[in-house]
Structure 1
């Protein structure tokens, strides 16, 4: 099964992009090749570009506090597992403390590192991080895998509370929806949303169908058009019925 997610607003779009970058970073930093560690470091630079909004930290703190207050309201509910609820509340509290402890602009410690900024400036240029452009970086790439790993993790660690908060917010958002089984006729599906605001859509599709959803949505209407790929990978309209699972998520 393939899970497709579609954000309804720029705020969730930013969180999903950062989550995607964090997943890629986590994979590449755990490898041993200097080329893979180069990708991990370049991914940190991409994180700074996406997370550069000054209000992201504030938005996350406000959302975590909203979720905390909502969850506290369930404490008196006998149908709620108290140990699981307490665990989530503790996770939120710890993340909020760490997030508040972050000082300055996101990634300021990297922006103040002239060596890292020189690498960042060269990686923007295609092929710009060759050994003759950045001999000191080339020398660093010849350190042991453990040394490079320790350095990269050290540069990322000040950003970790931000990604912990993003993980909690998106996890709680995904859990708000109720999956429904739908079917697209002739490769197309429409649903009126009647002005109700959603923050994210999740679509689960059997990959053996070889159908690709192209999603367009606002608070009034949802439209999903399914396409398929031929040998040249050029998309073409999918003809036939497409069963899928649809979840509309909103806090």
Structure 2
């Protein structure tokens, strides 16, 4: 099964982009080759570029507080598992506390490092981080994998509370919806949303069908059109009925 996600607003779009970058970072930082660590470091620069476009820290803190108040309201519900609720509340408090304690603007430690900023400036240029452009960076790449890993983790550490908060907010959002089985007749599906505000759509489809969803949505209408790929990989309309699962997520 393949899960496709579609953000309904710019804020969730930014969170999903940062989550994707974080997954990429976690993969490459745990590798050992200098080129793989170069990708990990470049990904930190990409994170700063995306995170710098919005006041994510305050947005995430506000959202976590909203979720905390919502969860506290469930305490009086006899059908709620108290232990599970308390565990989620403790996690919200822990993540919020760490984010509040993080000092300064997101990634300021990287921006204040002239050496890292010199690398960032060169990586924007295709092939700009060659050894003759940045001999000190090339020398750093010759260090042991353990040393490089330690340096990259240290540079990333001040960003960690932001990504912990981001991961928790997205997890709570994904858990807010219930999957429903749908059929796209002749590869097309429409649903009226009647003005209800959602933050994210999750669509699950069997990978063996070769069906790729093209999604568009606003607060009134959801539209999904399935395509498939030929030998040239160019999408073309899929005219068959496509079963899929749809989850609409909202806080």
What is the TM-score when the length of structure 1 is the normalising length?
Answer: 0.98
CA distance in 1, matches of 2:233, 2:11: 31
Question: Does 2:107 correspond to 1:107?
Answer: yes
In 2, Cα distance between equivalents of 1:75 and 1:197: 26
1:116 and 2:116 equivalent?
A: yes
Moved more, 160-169 or 87-96: 87-96
- The answer for the alignment partner of 2:208 in structure 1 is 208
Counterpart-to-counterpart distance in 2, 1:68 and 1:241: 42
Q: Which runs of 5+ in 2 are unaligned?
A: none
1:73 aligned counterpart, secondary structure: helix
1:95, 1:169 → 2: CA distance? Answer: 10
Is the CA contact (8 Å cut-off) linking 1:54 and 1:106 kept in structure 2?
no
Give the C-alpha shift of residue 88 in structure 1. 1.0
Distance in 1 separating the partners of 2:67 and 2:206: 33
The runs of at least 4 aligned residues of structure 1 exceeding 2 Å deviation read: none
Distance between the aligned counterparts of 2:75 and 2:27, measured in 1? 37
Q: Output the CA distance in 2 between the equivalents of 1:248 and 1:8.
A: 10
Aligned match of 2:80: 80
| C-alpha distance in structure 2 between counterparts of 1:73 and 1:186, whole Å | 44
The answer to whether the 8 Å contact 1:216/1:224 transfers is yes
Matched residues in 2 for 1:53 and 1:126: separation? 23
1:25 maps to what in 2? 25
Unaligned 5+ runs, structure 1: none
How big is the shift at 1:7?
0.2
Number of residues of Structure 1 aligned to a counterpart in Structure 2? 251
**TM-score, length of structure 2 as denominator length:** 0.98
Q: For the Cα contact (< 8 Å) 1:95–1:165, is it kept in 2?
A: yes
| Alpha-carbon offset, residue 54 of structure 1 | 4.8
